[in-house]
Amino acid sequence: MPATGAARKSESDQTEVQMETVGCPVCASPGEHRFAQRDFFCGLAGEFGQRYCTECQVYFLSPRVPESAIGGYYPASYVPYQEPGRTLVHRLADTLGLTFRRRRIVEKFVTGGKLLDVGSGNGAFLRSLLVPIHRRPSRPPTQPWTLHAMDLSWHGGPDLPFPFHEGRFDDDQPPMSGMDAVTLWHVFEHLYHPRRALQNAAAILRPGGFLFLAIPDLHSLEAQFLGKYWVGWDPPRHLATYSPKGLQILLQEAGFRLVASVPDVCTGELFLLNADFFLRARGFNTRLHGSLVARALLSPFMFLLARLGLAPAKVYVAQK
């Protein structure tokens, strides 16, 4: 790819990263430049351009950090890497059952079997599948889960209660087959090769198996209201922000049928992160998302938005 600029990994690391220009991840169109952003999430230096494809309705980064250098933009402090249960916030979330909502989404379609969680991070979702939960008699009983995790590295502490596969899902096909479910919780927007990832998912799923993709929702209230300061952009890590149209094109190409889209887990943390981004862009060094009280006060409102289908992210459910 032709180089169009340079970014720096951090203020203290003056090693320049040569940027690359790319087209739409769905149709390869050059798109239209809409705005440029900084990394408000981790505070790393650089500016990254958001382009929009009018045909696929997809936003994508160009210029962007090349795949060979993106690891420098995932510091150890990156929130999804933090060990579960380490803080009062994590323990309160467990008490409220927030970590089990994604499990309930999956078990509406698959009630047990073999499951691979891609981008497993600290393993919080997989651990939730190991905990027995009470189910109403009207619902079918669940079967035991056989769990697998995949990520670039393991971030869940020394105890590893399920097989872990190190690698890139959009490059390395995991050594397994006949899976009943594959989950990617806010991973798909990070991938440099989305088509290959969907092909790998189709290859390891059994006929009739399910794929679950959680991605930021471009049409959410927060995205519409906050514009370029929306947390869902997260440059340079989020390479594309997919529309339902663009996502459906990619799914159909890989042999999937889209069967549902439902609101993803929604708490006050994302709203507060958005507030942090907005204020940091104006020179304030805020950490509102770290306030347990503010999260607790906002959570009922965010749950209401989710019930109304207005959560800042959605889970797309596709069947092979």
CATH number at residue 269: 3.40.50.150
The residue among 186, 185, 163 whose CA lies nearest residue 174 is 163
Task: Give the span between the Cα atoms of 78 and 132, in whole angstroms.
Answer: 30
- The identity of residue 161, as a single letter, is P
Residue 71 lies in a domain: no
| 145-151 vs 113-118, strand pairing mode | parallel
Residue 248 lies in a domain: yes
Residue 247 lies in a domain: yes
Residue 237 lies in a domain: yes
The residue among 85, 84, 139, 131 whose CA lies nearest residue 107 is 139
pLDDT of residue 139: 57
Q: 234: burial class by Cβ within 10 Å (0-12, 13-18, 19+)?
A: buried
Task: Give the span between the Cα atoms of 93 and 113, in whole angstroms.
Answer: 26
pLDDT of residue 135: 57
Task: Give the span between the Cα atoms of 122 and 59, in whole angstroms.
Answer: 28
> What would the two tokens of residue 246 be?
């663009």
pLDDT of residue 10: 46
pLDDT of residue 180: 98
Residue 1 lies in a domain: no
> What would the two tokens of residue 100 be?
């089990």
Task: Please give the model's pTM, rounded to 2 decimal places.
Answer: 0.86
Task: Give the span between the Cα atoms of 294 and 271, in whole angstroms.
Answer: 10
> At CA 151, angle to CA 40 and CA 200, rounded to 5?
110
Residue 202 lies in a domain: yes
Task: Give the span between the Cα atoms of 265 and 177, in whole angstroms.
Answer: 29
Instruction: Write the DSSP string, 187-255.
Output: -GGG-S-HHHHHHHHHHHEEEEEEEEEEEE-TTSHHHHHHGGG-TTT-TTT--EE--HHHHHHHHHHTT
Tens-level pLDDT at each residue, the chain (320 residues): 333 345 545 444 435 788 899 999 999 999 999 999 888 777 788 889 999 999 999 999 999 999 999 988 888 766 655 544 445 555 555 545 566 788 889 999 998 999 999 998 878 888 888 877 665 555 555 678 999 999 888 776 677 788 899 999 999 888 899 999 999 999 999 999 999 999 999 999 999 999 999 999 988 888 888 888 888 899 999 999 999 999 999 999 999 999 999 988 766 667 777 787 778 777 778 777 777 777 777 777 777 776 676 778 899 999 99
Residue 35 lies in a domain: no
pLDDT of residue 294: 73
3-state helix, strand, coil in the chain (%, to 5): 30, 25, 45
Asked whether 64 and 22 are in contact (CB, 8 A), the reply is yes
The H-or-E segment that residue 272 falls in is: helix 268-280
pLDDT of residue 85: 47
Task: Give the span between the Cα atoms of 302 and 281, in whole angstroms.
Answer: 24
Instruction: Write the DSSP string, 122-136.
Output: T-HHHHHHTS-----
Residue 100 lies in a domain: yes
- Number of domains observed in the structure of the chain: 1
The residue among 216, 143, 215, 154 whose CA lies nearest residue 181 is 143
pLDDT of residue 128: 85
Domain carrying residue 227: 76-319
